[in-house]
Amino acid sequence: MFTGIITDLGNVRAIEPGADTRFVFNTGYDTDDIAIGASIACSGVCLTAVDKGPGWFAVEASAETLDRTTLGGWRVGSPVNFERALKLGGELGGHMMMGHVDDVAEIVSRIPEGGSLRYVFEVPEGLQRFIAPKGSIGLDGVSLTVNEVDGARFGANIIDHTCGHTSFGNARIGDKVNLEVDVIARYLARLVDKEQA
């Protein structure tokens, strides 16, 4: 489980195709503290550390993960938001996130607003029912509050600190981001669907 509070902004060091694609990441984490087999959210995608060395760690991603997330479009140098798994008793600073990406959203607007940036995102058909004003959303692993919803589009403000410490600092209109809907909204929708069936 994760909280959507990014603790390192790294990048892709190498991509090695194979039965599963191996990604090697540059990181500021002390990799001595990363256990092989540990879960790390990589721009919101829960992946398993399979190898490591000073200043880097590696994961493997299946074809399904490449198809359902932005990982298939990553290149050497692509920025990646990292979050280590939540430890029992740790601070839940954002909201509960599983690292199970639902789909990819697109940035359709990016406008300065006060000291922050107002982003508007468009989600694929069927996901808008899980997004509510003042609700939580996970985008590229970052826990954000939804400002408003208009059909398949919703807005969120990203403060200067978040822009400076995540990949949103360099995000542009047209960029794709990994989207994870709030886990509570997902289960509530399923319960409502069962009652209506």
pLDDT tens string 167-192:
999 999 999 999 999 877 776 766 67
- Fold of the domain built from segment(s) 103-196: Elongation Factor Tu (Ef-tu); domain 3 (2.40.30)
Take residue 22 and report the two structure tokens written for it.
């191996």
Distance CA(34)–CA(181), nearest Å, equals 27
Domain residue spans of the chain = 8-84, 103-196
Helices marked H in 117-171 — which ranges? Answer: 160-165
Rounded to two decimals, the pTM is 0.92
pLDDT at 193 (0 to 100) = 65
pLDDT at 187 (0 to 100) = 66
- Fold of the domain built from segment(s) 8-84: Elongation Factor Tu (Ef-tu); domain 3 (2.40.30)
Q: Which residue has the higher pLDDT, 148 or 96?
A: 148
The answer to whether 8-84 and 103-196 have equal CATH topology is yes
Residue type at position 126: G
Q: Region of 59 please: left (phi>0), alpha (psi -120 to 50) or beta.
A: beta
pLDDT tens string 28-85:
999 999 999 999 999 999 999 999 999 999 999 999 999 999 999 999 999 999 999 9
pLDDT tens string 137-166:
999 999 999 999 999 999 999 999 999 999
pLDDT at 195 (0 to 100) = 63
